[in-house]
Amino acid sequence: MQNNFNATPEFAKQLDALDQIRPFRNEFYIPKNEKGEESLYLCGNSLGLQPKRAKKYIEEELEDWAKYGVDGHTKGKNPWLNYHELLTQPMANIVGAKPIEVVVMNTLTTNLHLLMASFYSPTPRRYKILIEADAFPSDKYAVESQIKFHGYNPEESLIIWKSTDDKPLLKIEDLEQILETQGEEISLLLIGSVNYYTGQYFDLKQITKLAHSKGCMVGFDCAHGAGNVDLRLHDSGADFAAWCSYKYLNSGPGSLAGIFVHERHAYNKNLNRFAGWWSHNKETRFKMRDEFDVLPGAEGWQLSNPPILSMAAIKASLSVFEEARFPRLLEKSKKLSAYFEYLINNLKSENISIITPKNTEDRGCQLSIRVRNANKSLHRKLEEANVICDWREPDVIRCAPVPLYNSYFDVFLTVERLEKILAEI
């Protein structure tokens, strides 16, 4: 993205003055240091900030619980029986899916296991799983455990898509080569839509097309994609996806996750799955003695009745997204990350490089900044300077200026403080 930027505080403030998304910053609590100064919070890729309206949304359900007790399932402002349905359309809008393809439930790794129960069906000929290099450790652990559960050895059955030139960013050509040589042995690809370490946003549609051409199933972990990039899950053709909601979706620590199952699987009752009563036909669910009759679509992967208080927090955040309009957030995100990149490059330091893709279409708001010869003391000094970001070994700072609540001036001050710290050390 080409912009006529300059590295002055006045210019950053001018960008903020023209920013139509800027008022939404007031919808969030910004953490403060001991002096009462607002932090430069660039850690939405780990935990999003609390929407101010979350308390109100949760209190509404607490009040209905106090007022109605068990009858809150059918009475009150938002009856609990079908509460999860209130989240379906706004969540589908964010991940680019049809309502039948999405449901909010459980937590991320739990959902990945439930989905792999359906879409990882190894045979003696086709039993391998492919993940990307530097996948989030939880995904690797989950995949290895699935392989072992089915009686295979991860050392032989886990394939890593890695760069052949030893650079951090992955190339689709390397994936093509793996699929060309081992595709008929691969049962499943499980790839992070946005790599948590580098911030690289993969071409989901291209990956799916390549994998399907070899007969492989395809799933995406969208933990760092949902609410951050234009996922277009339906158009990607992927078989399934899962994501958490506490990063860019601001639903609170450890909150619920979401799943996507492509509509071509919606009415396939023969798919293996672990079932629970909330995936049973709504019309006969409470007759209790009927044989299992699975719901169509993503709802058919639910297990239990939903935790309402957690869902209320998600509902609050999604309402902010609806008001801000996701396309506008994506537009600001690209410009904000481009400005951040410009300021980092303007430091003209041989010790600093950005390992995130340069093309804004190939990344979200996160920039992963490599600082040569640095260690975690650099991160501690940034915290002391009231910059809240994330450190990844051995030498990478992950910073995510989130368009909903971060400003251009936040980014300017972050780079200014980073430059000062580097000069001191």
Instruction: Note the Cα 170 to chain centre separation in Å.
Output: 19
Residue 389 maps to a domain: yes
**Amino acid letter for position 247:** K
Q: How many domains does the chain have?
A: 2
Question: Are 93 and 46 found together in one domain?
Answer: no
Nearest Cα residue to 400 out of 238, 197, 206, 218:
197
Q: What is the pLDDT of residue 30?
A: 98
pLDDT averaged per 10 residues in sequence order, the chain, 425 residues: 84 97 98 96 98 98 97 95 97 98 97 98 97 95 98 97 92 97 98 97 98 98 98 98 98 97 96 92 84 93 95 98 98 98 92 96 97 91 96 94 98 97 87
Q: What is the pLDDT of residue 2?
A: 52
Residue 320 maps to a domain: no
Question: Are 356 and 231 found together in one domain?
Answer: no
201, 364 in Cβ contact below 8 A? yes
Question: Are 199 and 336 found together in one domain?
Answer: no
Residue 359 maps to a domain: yes
Residue 311 maps to a domain: no
- Whether the CA torsion 311, 314, 320, 324 is positive or negative: it is negative
Question: Are 280 and 133 found together in one domain?
Answer: yes
Residue 375 maps to a domain: yes
Question: Are 394 and 246 found together in one domain?
Answer: no
Question: Are 290 and 359 found together in one domain?
Answer: no
Q: What is the pLDDT of residue 31?
A: 97
Residue 238 maps to a domain: yes
Question: Are 294 and 345 found together in one domain?
Answer: no
Question: Are 295 and 225 found together in one domain?
Answer: yes
Question: Are 21 and 133 found together in one domain?
Answer: no
Q: What is the pLDDT of residue 103?
A: 98
Q: Which two tokens stand for residue 378?
A: 């650099």
Edge-to-edge strand list for the sheet holding 367-371: 352-354, 367-371, 396-399, 390-392
State the CB neighbour count (10 A cutoff) for residue 384: 11
Question: Are 124 and 204 found together in one domain?
Answer: yes
Question: Are 286 and 417 found together in one domain?
Answer: no
**Domain hosting residue 250, numbered range:** 84-305
- Report the CATH number at residue 282: 3.40.640.10
Cβ neighbours of residue 378 under 8 Å, at least 6 residues apart? 371, 391, 397, 421, 422, 425
Residue 312 maps to a domain: no
231, 222 in Cβ contact below 8 A? yes
- Report the CATH number at residue 40: 3.90.1150.10
Residue ending a domain, among 305, 336, 362, is 305
Question: Are 297 and 379 found together in one domain?
Answer: no
Residue 321 maps to a domain: no
Q: What is the pLDDT of residue 373?
A: 87
